[in-house]
Structure 1
């Protein structure tokens, strides 16, 4: 798939939003990628995740894993495309954990996936979970990297889209200075 085809899918589904957003990282931004808008369409999910999976074909991936919530569908569909199982991590007492009797064997080759990264914090936590169980992280695949190339996860990382989006610390946010309410994406919460 070309970058233009990928952008067209995000635009058609309303997944690229403009406004004032409070991101999971705590930072603020004027743009947000709501990948759930894309992932609600199986035909687009299959295409996008198939493209992501193709970038890791031949590496012997045995398992794909992503953080709940955004990484669950991406993990499932990339796993399907690669013909391997799919897992997800969840927060337990504020920490990322492998639950539901999911296991990773020592030496198992694992691909970590996510819908969007800004700081890469959630993906880094998943990498730590995999490694703590003896798994080998072969790479990270994301639909959208909005870190401006700053998220260094220490492993091969592939993104379908790399976008430069300005983010602001809440104390220095020009949108807050304008009195615009910040919306926490994925919820109806307004600050």
Structure 2
């Protein structure tokens, strides 16, 4: 799936937003991709996950035994990636602020895991999820996301594949351009800003 077709999926879902957004990292941005909206249509979620699964390097795809995603934003795309790869899918969550497997989810020692996110900006959530997976006995062989917003700057310590790279500027809250500072900020994500 080409970048413009991926963006068309977001546009069709009303998920490509323009304004002043507070990201989970605390950074500010003039554009936001609301993955929850694009994934609320099961057939669209299936198309996007299939395209992302097809984009995985064969050497990663062939190793994957289970897909693990961070809650909240990664749950749907993680489930759909599990379906696309024909592998079980589970998620880590933060009941006390740190990711962990719960709800009866467990990994076999050394089980090969693909960690799947909706959006990666700084990579903080991804690295935290990878740490939780490793601590639970899994071996993360790769990471994937619908959207890479890192401007090429993220290093997750494992091969990383994104369906689309969206290079949107981000700003510190005290260094906003005037046109962004003039717009009220909205926090659309599921995690409190840093």
Interval of TM-score (by shorter of Structure 1 and Structure 2): over 0.9
> Within 2, Cα distance between the matches of 1:55 and 1:150?
20
1:136 aligns with 2:104: no
Q: CA deviation at 1:10?
A: 1.2
Q: 1:90 aligns with which of 85, 89, 93?
A: 93
- Superposed, 1:119-158 pairs within 5 Å as 119-158=122-161
Asked if the contact 1:9/1:38 (under 8 Å) is kept, the reply is yes
Q: Name stretches of at least 5 consecutive residues in structure 2 with no aligned partner.
A: none
Which range is displaced more, 170-179 or 127-136?
170-179
Q: State the 4+ residue runs in structure 1 displaced beyond 6 angstroms.
A: none
Q: TM-score, normalised by structure 2?
A: 0.91
Asked if the contact 1:64/1:113 (under 8 Å) is kept, the reply is yes
Which range is displaced more, 95-104 or 56-65?
56-65
In the other structure, the counterpart of 1:100 is 103
The one of the two structures with greater contact order (alpha-carbon pairs below 8 A, sep at least 6) is 2
Q: CA deviation at 1:133?
A: 2.1
RMSD value, Cα: 1.8
> Within 2, Cα distance between the matches of 1:83 and 1:103?
18
Q: CA deviation at 1:116?
A: 0.6
Asked if the contact 1:50/1:81 (under 8 Å) is kept, the reply is yes
Q: CA deviation at 1:177?
A: 7.2
1:185 aligns with 2:188: yes
| Superimposed CA distance per residue, residues 23-64 of structure 1 (whole angstroms, 9 cap, x where no aligned partner) | 111111111010111101111100110111223454221110
Q: 1:68 aligns with which of 50, 62, 71?
A: 71
- 2:14 counterpart SS class: coil
| Superimposed CA distance per residue, residues 104-123 of structure 1 (whole angstroms, 9 cap, x where no aligned partner) | 11110000001111101111
| Superimposed CA distance per residue, residues 53-94 of structure 1 (whole angstroms, 9 cap, x where no aligned partner) | 223454221110111111000110100111111011111221
Q: TM-score, normalised by structure 1?
A: 0.92
Q: CA deviation at 1:175?
A: 5.2
Q: Name stretches of at least 5 consecutive residues in structure 1 with no aligned partner.
A: none
1:44 aligns with 2:47: no
